[in-house]
Structure 1
Amino acid sequence: MATKVATMLQLPYEATDSSSKSLVGHSQTPKKSAIKTSPLKLLDPGRSKLTTVETKRIISVLDEAIFKIELISLISHVTEFLDVLSTILGSELMGTLKEHERLSNNMEALLTQLQREGLKQEDGRGDLVGTEEQIHHLQLHQQAVKSSIRNILRLFQADPLASQAVRDEAYARDLSFEMFIKGLSVFQGFLLEKLLTSPLEEQEKVQFMEEISLRDKKNTETITALEAELATAIQSQDNEIMKMNAAIRDLKSHLLHLEKSSESHIQRTKQEAEKLQKGELRVSQAKCAKIQQDIHQLRAQLNVLIIDNRDSELALRKKKYKVEMEIENWIQKYDADMGEKQTEFEEVDAVYTEEKAQLAELKEKYAVLEQEYSQIKEERRRSQEKKERAERELAIMVRAATHIQAFWKGYLVRSLLKSKRKKKGKGKKSKK
């Protein structure tokens, strides 16, 4: 801004007339005398540094915004060359960038699919027009991408080396981002100049610009007088041009005479060119015949290839139709199975709900009967102990009786075996 105003001031201070000098001479205040000696000092801020916390926060917010936009504008380039930058970025940043690339690809695929399903962008405003489900689904993906970008920026802020390495790839930034960042930088400079300027200095600048406007008005009057002198000079120049035009007409008549004398030479040259053209035409016709023959051969080859491709295409179409029919059958079967499963699930769920209600009732009854059951259980325990004592005594008696019977049966069996052996021994002796 100061450079532009300085350019405007060059004419008043380099070619000032007596009136402008008198205007500066009549100024009595020290400020006006300072303007005369150094006019550009008023255009510079009165302070070189920000003194308040609020102004420093404003500039820091702009710095952080520019830093984040520089990183965001290079995310697509970084994801494209992740292998090259892997040593600098680190494992956490690499994983976050890969996840962001996956989310971006999913969102692009979803947007393409929704556009095919009828999602449109309203002209002028840029709003999306579609069903609530489509817009909600798209907004969920947008929130995921925004969260991914926030995580990436947080990790870059925690790693200055990685962020500086990415910012060094500024050559790959898109032109629109570059223009936007430059605009923010210019705005930051303008805002910094405003924050460094006090209201009193701003008033002095306005007064200074009013004086410059007055001088510009006087310079305009001077320019008007000079323009009148210029018009007179132009008129005299036009008269000289008229004289020169007359001389040019004489030269043109002489040139016309030369053209007539050269017509015969042009005619001879034309005849020679026609002969050369006929020879070239014969050669060209021979080349065209050969090229036409090649075209016929290539066309025949093309027809053969077309027939082969048609046969293969027909076979592939049949195969594709068969696969599509199988897929359709599987889909129908899947739908039918899922319908049956859903019906079965609803029935089981109804039974489960009913049994759950019955279980609650039984629990209430159980709570009432539990106390009675504990008393009955104690009585049964006592009777069981008596019964067990009796059973133990009975078992001892039964075991003793069983042992006696077993010994007796063993004795009888041994006696029978001895008698049989004796009979067999006597029978063998009589046979011999």
Structure 2
Amino acid sequence: MAILEETYSKLQLLSHVPPLRRADDYEKFVNEVGPEVAQVLDEQVTLEQQYRYVSTPQHEQVGIGFDGDQALPDFETLDDELRHSTRVVCRMLREAPAISERLQQAQSEGPSGSMRKFLSTFLELKSQTFQKLSTSVEEEKSKEDWFLEISAREEKASQQLRQLQKEIKAEKADRERNVSARNETIQKLRDELEYIKSATLEEEKTLEAETKASEEADNLAFTTKETTLQDELTRLTNELATKRKENKESEDQLRKKKVKYEGEVATWISKYDTDMEEKDREISALRLIYEEEHKELYRLEDYFSKLMAEREAALAEERKKAEERARQQAQMATLSKAATMVQKMWRGKVARRELEKKKSGKGGKGKKGKKA
């Protein structure tokens, strides 16, 4: 119980220290308590701000009163430093009650709501501890089991908290790397944008100068061309007036010729009609003659066709007779040739016989002479 009483007393002293901020009218406060005490309290405030920032989820760190881009120790180091600083502040307040009174006067509203709630909870815990000391062994065992269960839950929650804090730290490091990379990209883009702006400005100046020179040249060319075209327009207008006058005279002459030629054409048309009527009568007479002669031609063609047929028949008969005579003559020639050949063969045979007889007679006479 003495430990709890002492702890409660220390908590009451610490409740007078403004959380996460300096005391109001800080310069007056420094003069009253001294620079060393003010420095200790400033370190306490700084550690509390850092601890709050590190233990806050990353998406909730914006606007909590601390610059998150500064390099901070890890959670365990901050926890140890904050514990040590809190003990130093508590010891300082116990040794110098005037400082505690000055801090209490500076806080017109008293301790914060969370601190008052914590003190109330601590009083309740102290009361429960007193009851625990005055209860029996069985009740003590039951409450001890309940306390162990609560402690186990708290330990598990603490482990989860440490794991989450490690994840937060890793996430924060990753965020810092991403922020650094994005800052480099942004700076690079800014440099490129500045270069583009500079180049664009130079190009604008160059284009403006070129445009001005081109505009002046175009204006000069336009003025020159306008003068030339105006002169050309005047010349063409005069030529048009002259041409109109000439065309008017030519038109009058052509109209006179037209009237003359129209009269001649009417005369020629009348003559053409008369000639055509006469020619039509001649054609009709010739057509009658043609029809008569065509009938006569048809009759003569029929007559000569019959004559040609009869002549062809006679010629065919004559050809047959000539062929028969030629065939007979060929047969007679063949027979005559064969008879001649037979006669030649017979004569040759008779001549050979005569020759053999002559040879036989001469041989008999010769043998008889030798024998005599």
> TM-score of the superposition, structure 2-length normalised?
0.28
* Structure whose CA Rg is larger: 2
> TM-score of the superposition, structure 1-length normalised?
0.25
